[in-house]
Structure formats: C-alpha cells, structure tokens
Amino acid sequence: MAFTSLTLSEFRNFKNTQIDFNSSQIFFIGDNGQGKTNIIEALYLLCYGSSFRVRFDNLMINNNSATAYIKGDFLDHTELRKSISIQLSKNKVKEIVVDDKRVLDRKELIQNIPCVVFSHNDMQIIIGAPYLQRRFFNQTLSIYDIVFIDLLRKYKKILSYRNCILKEKKTDLLDVYNLKLAQYGLEIQKKREIIITAFNTIFSDLFQRITGFKEQCLIHYEPSWKDCRDEGNVLNALKTKQEKDIIWKSTTSGPHRDRFFFYLAGKDFLKIASTGQIRLISIILKIAQAQFYTKITQKKPLLLLDDVLLEIDKKKREMLIPLLPAYDQAFFTFLPDEDFASYEKPGTLKYLIKSGVIQAWNEPEIY
C-alpha cells in the first residue's frame, strides 16, 4: 500500500500543488512553518477522513478560500491503482470519494491505507487526559477490526440516550438502556483486555531494547467495571451508582471511563519518568502500534513521521531507526540542518518546502 501522488488545492498554505511519490521513502525538508506538517496532515486525512491536529475541518482550508481539495492516488495491497479525494468546505459537510464513489461512512476508508502517524503531540497519549489513551487503543483496534467501530458507535449512542434520561430524571426508563449499555460495554472491555495482553508482548520488548532498562514496562488496563464479568454484574454496578449518576446527570462508570497505566517493575512509571523518557515511550508506543497491526493482518502500514527524531538524542535516534516497523512507504519531515542524509535509502525522494511551495531537493531554489 503506497501513495503514488498527492494533489492539494487551497489546503492550509498550499494553493495548487501536485507531488509524485514513486518511492517507498520520502523526505520533506524545510524550516518550521513552511508546510511540512501540512503535507503529513493531508496524507493522514486521506487515510482516516479526519485530521490528527485539529477537530474542525474549516481550519484546514486556506483563509482566502471557501473550499479545499485533497486527492491521493495510491496502490492497494494487491497493487491495484485507486484514488481518494476529499472536498472540504466552510459551509458544507466534507465529501469523500474513493474511485468515483462517494463514501458515506469514514470507516470505509480505514482499510484502504492504514497508517501510523508519529507527531510531537504523541506525548499526550502518555501524560494527557485518559480519553487520549482510550482513543489510541480504540484506533489500534479499529485499523484491523472494522466491527469494533460499529460496537463503539452503538455504545456511545446508548450512553448518550442514558445521559439524557439522567438529566431529565426519567429513571423508569433506565432499565432498558442499562441492559444495552452492559451488553455493548462488556464487549468493548473484553476486546481491550485481549488487545492489551497481545500489545504488551511487543511494547515491553521494544521498551527494553531501546531504553536499556532491565525491568519490563507494561501497560496496565484498568476497566471501570473491573469486577464485572457478565451482564448481571454490570447491571448491579449501574444500580449501585444510579444515585450518583442522577446527581451528576451523567453515567459515571463504563468503558468511557476506562484507564490505562504504564508500570515499570510494578510501579507507576510516569511518576518517576523524565520528559525525555516520556517522549521515548510515546515513540515506542507508535512503533508497537505499527508492529501490532502487521502481526495481526500480515500487512504493512504507511508511516508518517513528523519531526519526531528531532526530540531524542543522537544515540537513541540511531537505535530507533533500525527498529522502525516494516512499511510499504514512509514519509519523514526534517529541518534543513539535520543529518537526514544518514537516514536515506537507495531511491529516497527528497523535497524542499518553502512558504507552501515544493520542489525537488536537488533543484536550484526558485525563490
């Protein structure tokens, strides 16, 4: 799976740009604020239908335009040529088209080109609000298990209905929604328990090899319904918390309250970890995500690496590069004064980006 070209029109600071990608490794080189991350964002958008940087689509549209257009031609895992295009509008819902057929559900995109993005904000997965850790593992499940997306949606829908009932204090209707919440919630909990067991075997091995720690670092999953193994247990737990839920006008237990912790030798690692170690863990987590995907599906994901190598020392960087997961294609961003030549492979494509203009690295500057 690999992109062969990218077309951008009024996307961020790119007016009208077309880039060819006849390589498995592409470097975007430029100073900060020139548009490197914007290209990474565009590629991610084509893979998932949403941005990893912003929640609102209109923020990706050039300030002087009402619409933006992104198109990517790619080869799927069978080497069949396909295309994805996305039209963003400040006034309308975005339109996603795959091979001239409109996509009405973003989940249809995921299996076209599953990708893993490495970005500066990945540290928040480790130290940020608990929903960010849940979102990471939800995505890890979703890129190979489409059914999980439907399960999450069903759970969130029932959760929303139940919260409305709590706000209106219509407690006579709770029993109906409690049962559905228990059914969907237990399925999510079981899937998370299974994935953490398998994920830890990859993550802990990478952690020891990269950090040099002798102790294992393991991700601990703590379900909100940790003592519940069947629907009856969950219904009792919901009944116990019902008064609290009514007071708070919200469901205070369930998979939407699950937690994930990082333990080193049985202790909470984040309480003693340095900023550099947390940064390293976040990168290891993404490498593990890509390796996990390949192990489950036997397919290689697309990798998008946005300046992440800048934030670790040279020694750790040299250890990380060989441990990057196998990929069909990878995109890297670099500053001009970085030693990016040491990461090149035969056939690596290099592009210079300046003020939203892109050109081959070995061409004379046109500015």
Spatial separation of the C-alpha atoms in residues 272 and 342, rounded to whole Å: 33
pLDDT tens column, 13-72: 999 999 999 899 999 999 988 999 999 999 999 999 999 999 899 999 998 899 999 999
Q: What 3 state SS string does the chain have?
A: CEEEEEEEEEECCEEEEEEECCCCEEEEECCCCCCHHHHHHHHHHHHHCCCCCCCCHHHHECCCCCEEEEEEEEECCCCCEEEEEEEEECCCCCEEEECCEEECCCHHHHCCCCEEEECHHHHHHHHCCHHHHHHHHHHHHHCCCHHHHHHHHHHHHHHHHHHHHHHHCCHHHHHHHHHHHHHHHHHHHHHHHHHHHHHHHHHHHHHHHHHCCCCCEEEEEECCCCCCCCHHHHHHHHHHCHHHHHHHCCCCCCHHHCEEEEEECCEEHHHCCCHHHHHHHHHHHHHHHHHHHHHHHCCCCEEEEECHHHHCCHHHHHHHHHHCCCCCEEEEEECCCCCHHHHCCCCCEEEEEECCEEEECCCCCCC
Higher pLDDT, 365 or 73: 73
pLDDT band at 152 (very low <50, low <70, confident <90, very high): very high
Share of the chain above pLDDT 90, in %: 61
Q: Quick check: 148 pLDDT over 60?
A: yes
Structural domains for the chain: 1-114+301-367 (3.40.50.300), 122-298 (1.20.1050.90)
pLDDT tens column, 230-249: 999 999 999 999 999 999 99
Q: What's the distance, Cα to Cα, between the start and end of the chain in Å?
A: 35
pLDDT tens column, 167-195: 988 888 899 899 999 999 999 999 999 99
pLDDT of amino acid 111: 74
